């Protein structure tokens, strides 16, 4: 069967479109409806965008995505109304539209999934532009959320584009959501150390740093009586940013070294003793 034999016949087309009853004005009116739909979609997009930006949990990018979706809905309604004006039988026409929609969906499934995931990310309070997040794809500052990707900037100045659908299906750690973060140092002191003094010195060292929050105050607790040392956990709060966290830990580490030296406290470390055996030469002494 040739290509031309596969084309629908005139009778088949007439079953879908009643061409005999159409006039020139029908085509003109259908064209006007389409043009009005495009104009209305543009107006709605522009008017809806500033209204959506007033919502507290919706970012600028989310407002843009939703306004675009509303515009496409208006265009689709205009197409349907134009088909009605042209006396198109909506039953067969809808079947064709559904088939085309299915083909387009599977052909652009990734785009559709990313777009819908982008809407979910914009509507959810997981993170916003400016937050610092940790994902399996990268760690950094959220710079932009589009209909396809979330762009983050790492601390090394690298731009990472993460598909929206990946963020929907994986855990996300928002480092800056609560305004503060806690870090923990593990410090071992040797046996025989005044443990009360050691705890006070650790807490004083952490509190003396400008990068450490005063409330909640730093806290040093014994966590383990190990083979070679008594282990302390020093917990302190600081700014939640990634670089700020590294600077806070650096400052506390230097402060601990100074305070331990001033108070004669030694940081324990594992030591190995080599045993070579007893002297068993068996030589008898002269007598």
- For residue 231, pLDDT over 60 is answered with yes
**The predicted structure's pLDDT at residue 131:** 92
Average pLDDT, the chain: 80
Same domain assignment for residues 57 and 34: yes
In this structure, are 82 and 30 located in the same domain? yes
Give me the phi and psi of 183, to 5 degrees please.
-115, 160
Residue 252, in any domain of the structure: yes
- At residue 233 the predicted structure's pLDDT band, cuts being 50, 70 and 90, is very high
Q: How far apart are CA 126 and CA 77, in angstroms?
A: 34
Would you say residue 99 lies in a domain? Answer: yes
For residue 17, the model assigns a pLDDT of: 55
Q: Which of 121-130, 157-166, 208-217 has the highest mean pLDDT?
A: 208-217
Among 47-61, 104-118, 199-213, top mean pLDDT goes to: 199-213
Beta-carbon contacts of residue 253 (< 8 Å; ≥ 6 apart) = 185
Q: What percent of the chain has a predicted confidence (pLDDT) above 90?
A: 37
- Specify the number of domains making up the chain: 3
The alpha carbon torsion through 52, 57, 59, 62 (nearest 10 deg) reads: -70
Percentage of the chain with pLDDT > 70?
A: 71
Over residues 77-97, the mean pLDDT reads: 71
Q: How far apart are the C-alpha atoms of 128 and 102, rounded to whole Å?
A: 33
In a domain, 280, yes or no: no
CATH of the domain at 244: 3.30.70.100
Do 130 and 199 fall into the same domain? no
Q: Which residues share a beta bridge with 160?
A: 152
In a domain, 3, yes or no: no
Which tops the pLDDT comparison, 252 or 99?
252
Residue 53 within a domain: yes
- The reply to whether 102 and 21 lie within a common domain is yes
Edge-to-edge order in the sheet of strand 181-189: 181-189, 230-238, 219-225
Quick check: is 103 in a domain?
yes
Domain that holds residue 138: 125-174
The residue-averaged pLDDT of 184-202 equals 95
The predicted structure's pLDDT at residue 263: 95
Same domain, 95 and 17: yes
Asked if residue 91 and residue 140 are part of one domain, the reply reads no
Residue 248 lies in a domain: yes
Q: Are residues 168 and 244 in the same domain?
A: no
CATH number at residue 135: 2.30.30.60
Question: Is residue 132's pLDDT more than 80?
Answer: yes
11-51 pLDDT per residue, tens: 544 554 555 566 777 788 888 888 998 898 888 888 887 88
Both 237 and 198 in one domain: the answer is yes
Name the β-bridge partners of 145: 150
- Please give the model's pTM, rounded to 2 decimal places: 0.58
**In terms of domains, do 154 and 203 share one?**
no
Residue 278 belongs to a domain: no
Burial of 3 (0-12, 13-18, 19+ CB in 10 A): exposed
Mean pLDDT value of segment 68-85: 80
More confident residue, 127 or 61: 127
Residues 103 and 146 in one domain: no
**89 and 133 belong to one structural domain:** no
pLDDT at position 287 is: 46
Residue after which a domain boundary falls, among 79, 107, 135: 107
Tell me the two tokens of residue 191.
Answer: 């046996």
**What is the per-residue pLDDT across 147-177, written as a single tens digit (0 to 9) for each?**
778 899 998 889 999 888 788 778 889 999 8
Q: 88 and 43 in one domain?
A: yes
Q: Is 158 exposed, middle or buried (0-12, 13-18, 19+ CB in 10 A)?
A: exposed
Higher pLDDT, 212 or 62: 212
Burial of 21-47, coded b for 16+ CB within 10 Å and e otherwise, reads: eeeeeeeeebeebbeebeeebeeebee
| Joined tokens for residue 192 | 């025989």
């Amino acid at each position: 069967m040739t290509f031309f034999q596969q084309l629908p016949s005139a009778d088949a087309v007439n079953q879908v479109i009643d061409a005999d009853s159409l006039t020139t004005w029908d085509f003109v009116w259908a064209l006007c409806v389409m043009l009005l739909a495009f104009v209305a979609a543009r107006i709605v997009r522009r008017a809806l965008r500033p209204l959506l930006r007033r919502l507290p949990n919706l970012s600028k990018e989310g407002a843009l995505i939703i306004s675009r979706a509303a515009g496409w809905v208006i265009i689709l309604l205009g197409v349907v109304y134009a088909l009605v004006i042209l006396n198109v039988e909506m039953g067969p026409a809808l079947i064709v539209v559904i088939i085309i929609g299915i083909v387009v969906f599977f052909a652009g499934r990734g785009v559709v999934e990313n777009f819908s995931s982008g809407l979910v990310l914009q509507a959810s309070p997981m993170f916003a532009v400016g937050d610092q997040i940790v994902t399996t794809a990268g760690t950094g500052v959220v710079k932009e959320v589009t209909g396809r990707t979330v762009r983050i900037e790492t601390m090394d100045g690298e731009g990472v584009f993460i598909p929206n659908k990946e963020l929907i299906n994986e855990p996300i750690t928002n480092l800056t959501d609560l305004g503060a973060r806690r870090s923990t140092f593990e410090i071992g002191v040797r046996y025989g150390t005044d443990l009360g003094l050691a705890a006070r010195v650790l807490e004083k060292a952490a509190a003396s740093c400008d990068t450490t929050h005063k409330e909640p105050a730093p806290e040093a607790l014994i966590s383990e009586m190990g083979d070679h040392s008594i282990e302390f956990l020093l917990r302190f709060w600081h700014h939640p940013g990634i670089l700020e966290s590294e600077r806070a830990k650096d400052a506390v580490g230097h402060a601990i070294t100074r305070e331990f030296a001033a108070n004669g406290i030694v940081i324990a470390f594992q030591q190995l003793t080599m045993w070579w055996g007893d002297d068993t030469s068996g030589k008898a002494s002269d007598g």
